[in-house]
Structure 1
């Protein structure tokens, strides 16, 4: 712990230690309030995820690769933190009682564009690696390319032959999710909010998760559950889930990272350090 505290003390930001493990509920509640405060922008942004998910699903089905729909769903978890940067802007504006518009939301990516692009490349590589790993695991157990989705479901989900693949795939998927979550927990909103480079932001995010691993474990689980609900509803649930989770992530970032001196208003009172 002393070594961790030493590394944290050398960071260009102050990471707060969160002592109450149910903090994620407060973040989610704050995200829901932002959703209600800007419903039009939130629903328009969320509709983009619904449309994108269904278009990608249709494309895979037409290409005969519909069994890749399940690994594709994991892409929303991997790429999601970057895709919702515009919604971080909504929460930031609501904090200081500024008006919110669709044009402002979609122009938010201009803030620190080079570093947002860099972390986007990191997440895209992680997504492509995940797809390749998913294909490798299937061929490892079934010695063939993934079949159509109806056959895939029967062979994998409802057969003893598919049990090892499900077990190993779940473990590998959980590992991927944990790594991506640790890398992006606060790094993307931090890069949007302040002029940090991607390496520094990722380092801060990893140390932040390590310092607050109890509350962050629960927060990661809540994100996974709400995203899964959004996906199993034919992506329709993402209409609300993605904006609320984006707003909540912004409030988590505000709570975990001490604001810059220019920021006087905080979403939450300072936690014990």
Structure 2
């Protein structure tokens, strides 16, 4: 397989999925930190670009009067996060092969196995749009036509009479969708980047990896959610470190879970 012109093998069998110890996600996190340190210029520049995009999106939403969507959009980051991290997987892959990582290689990583990565990315975006639609319906159900601005957004969402049922319902609905997305994408995008395989095979392999290693993968999902939550809670600035750390660690999760 070449890095750029890989063709998906539509007939290849599912790769072997390894069974791992329940505490292995901590080792992936350590390996991710090593990669972040080794390629800190690329990693932090990539993370900073995500922060800049996040703030541009917030400002655009504020200008369009759609700021009430900020909370579901933040929650939806768990759905599109694997797609946002594709350049970080490429950086870890290059480090593993002894190649020089670069920001150019990171931002053009989708060119490897482009069709299948694009198909999978389209699926993630569809799930993200589904979540946004659900969030809009829930907001309308609990808050009606109320349209908060930056000054009263926190008060409307967290201290009004409808806040608790809205947050509980939204968390439950979002959690179910987020874990379903995690199950299909835990190793799928790194696998599509690394092998000449197709999106269906990558999804099936990811589901098998989660099902075979349910306890460590639940822990891994919690670690991802916690680190991402910290990044979002710091007005997105923490994502500059959290996203590269989780992205690099996810590469090592894939390499350990999926055998040759």
Q: Same fold (TM over 0.5)?
A: yes
Compute the displacement of 1:211 (Å): 0.8
Spell out structure 1 runs of 4+ moving beyond 6 A: none
1:181 and 2:177 correspond: no
Q: Kindly report the root-mean-square deviation, in angstroms, between the aligned alpha carbons of the 2 structures.
A: 1.5
Partner of 2:39: 38
Partner of 1:144: 145
Compute the displacement of 1:145 (Å): 5.3
Q: Is the 8 A contact 1:34 1:94 kept in 2?
A: yes
Can you give the 5+ residue segments of structure 2 that lack an aligned partner in the other structure?
1-11
Partner of 2:107: 106
Q: Is the alpha carbon distance of 1:201 and 1:145 closer, same or farther for their aligned partners in structure 2, counting shifts above 3 Å?
A: farther
Can you give the 5+ residue segments of structure 1 that lack an aligned partner in the other structure?
1-9, 261-273
Compute the displacement of 1:152 (Å): 4.3
1:14 and 2:16 correspond: yes
Q: Is the 8 A contact 2:110 2:118 kept in 1?
A: no
Q: Is the alpha carbon distance of 1:100 and 1:156 closer, same or farther for their aligned partners in structure 2, counting shifts above 3 Å?
A: closer
Q: Secondary structure at the match of 2:162?
A: helix
Partner of 1:207: 208
Q: What do the CA deviations read for 1:128-172 (whole angstroms, capped 9, x no partner)?
A: 111110010111223335433544432331134322111111101
Compute the displacement of 1:226 (Å): 0.4
Report the TM-score, using the length of structure 1 for normalisation.
Answer: 0.87
Q: Is the 8 A contact 1:78 1:180 kept in 2?
A: yes
Structure 1 residues 153-162 or 91-100, which shifts more? 153-162
Q: Is the 8 A contact 2:148 2:156 kept in 1?
A: no
Compute the displacement of 1:206 (Å): 0.8
How do residues 36-185 of structure 1 correspond to structure 2 at under 5 angstroms? 36-144=37-145, 146-185=147-186
Partner of 2:5: none
Partner of 1:267: none
* Number of residue equivalences: 249
